[in-house]
Structure formats: structure tokens, C-alpha cells
């Protein structure tokens, strides 16, 4: 398992060691002991979520506030996405900067999104299955979000504007206050 550090502190891409033979493949997708040792963090995941979407769906940018903030470990089981984490930690030197990475069933990459980040993804293939672990339970009253097309964030979702399909909730999200 290889940990690839990004430009943003604590936001890490994880590349598993894949063992392939004539039967198929095997890899360890998560090991809490290795994860905590290699990141220097102490993360304990308590909830798993899964979503299926078609090309053009854009989910995000979402976050949980306060004591209900969540760190996430995200990956794609089938299909392909552009996954984005935006640093919302006001005291961070990378405040409002983002990491964008292609996650797919083929590359098996994962992205660790620390607490204090907004998270979202755009779906690049039909029948994409997205899976993620959270280190805190979801709390509806603590949810927040940013509008995906905020010009201050300047995120390339790798979709044409006319392809993007948003939930009614995501259509109402606001730009960053600046």
C-alpha cells in the first residue's frame, strides 16, 4: 500500500498493492493499523456509505460542521469519477484550495478527505458505484455545502456544463463567502 501525499496537508491518495493472477486480483483496501501508522493520524471509521450514479451526476460539495465533522476514505467500486476535496480550515495555508483525483475501478485509488473539508465528485461513466467510509455519524442538522461552480474554487469537474445533473438541494448551495 502506497500513500501519496498531496499539496494539501493530511489529504492523501492511497494506492493499494494489487496481486493479480489467472484467477483475478486481490488487494487490501483498508487496514486501520497501517493507515494510522502511515498518516500519523488516529482515525476510526464508524459508517460506510455507497451510491450508484450515471454519467453527469455531480454530488457535492458537502461537509458536516462542528462536532459532527467527518473524515472520509473514498473509492470507486465500478466506473469512474473525478473526486474533489476542498480545504475549509480557515487557519490552513491551503484554505479554499482543492485536490482533484480520478478514482476508478481500474486504478483502485482511494482519497482520504480529512475533517474540515468539503467533498464532492462528478461521475464520468454510467453505472458508477462510489463507496466511502466516515469517521463520524451523519447528522442532518450539521450538514453544509458549497456550490460546485464557485469561480473562487475553479474546479474542473471534467464534464460539460450541459451534462451536469444536480440534486435540488445541491442547486441551492451558495458560493464561498469572500
Containing 51, the helix (H) or strand (E) segment is strand 47-53
> Catalytic residue among 25, 62, 95, 98, which?
62
Torsion angle of the four alpha carbons 83, 70, 130, 77, in this order, in degrees rounded to the nearest 10: 100
CA distance 89 to 116: 5
Cell of 115: 475533517
Question: What is the C-alpha to C-alpha distance for residues 28 and 58, in angstroms, rounded to an integer?
Answer: 28
Report the chain's C-alpha Rg in angstroms: 16
Catalytic member of 98, 121, 132, 148: 132
Query: Based on the number of CB atoms within 10 Å of its own CB, is 105 exposed (0-12), middle (13-18) or buried (19 or more)?
Result: middle
Q: Of 61, 48, 55, 178, whose CA–CA distance to 128 is shortest?
A: 55
Question: What count of other Cβ atoms lies within 10 Å of the Cβ of residue 42?
Answer: 9
Is there a catalytic annotation at residue 62? yes
Q: Which three cell numbers stand for residue 5?
A: 501525499
Q: Which residues are catalytic?
A: 62, 132
Amino acid at each position: 500500500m502506497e500513500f501519496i501525499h498531496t499539496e494539501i496537508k493530511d489529504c492523501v491518495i492511497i494506492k493499494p498493492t494489487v496481486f493479480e493472477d489467472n484467477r483475478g486480483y486481490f488487494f487490501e483496501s483498508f487496514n486501520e493499523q497501517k493507515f494510522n501508522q502511515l498518516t500519523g493520524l488516529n482515525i476510526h471509521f464508524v459508517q460506510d456509505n455507497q451510491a450508484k450514479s450515471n454519467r453527469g451526476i455531480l454530488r457535492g460539495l458537502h461537509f458536516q460542521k462542528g462536532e459532527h465533522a467527518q473524515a472520509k476514505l473514498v473509492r470507486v467500486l465500478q466506473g469512474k469519477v473525478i473526486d474533489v476535496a476542498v480545504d475549509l480550515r480557515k487557519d490552513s495555508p491551503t484554505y479554499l484550495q482543492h485536490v482533484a483525483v480520478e478514482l476508478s475501478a481500474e486504478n483502485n485509488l482511494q482519497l482520504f478527505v480529512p475533517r474540515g473539508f468539503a467533498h464532492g465528485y462528478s461521475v464520468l461513466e454510467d453505472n458508477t458505484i462510489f463507496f466511502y467510509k466516515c469517521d463520524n455519524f451523519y447528522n442532518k442538522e450539521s450538514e453544509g455545502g458549497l456550490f460546485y461552480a464557485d469561480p473562487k474554487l475553479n474546479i474542473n469537474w471534467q464534464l460539460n456544463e450541459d451534462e451536469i445533473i444536480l440534486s435540488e438541494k445541491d442547486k441551492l448551495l451558495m458560493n464561498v463567502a469572500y
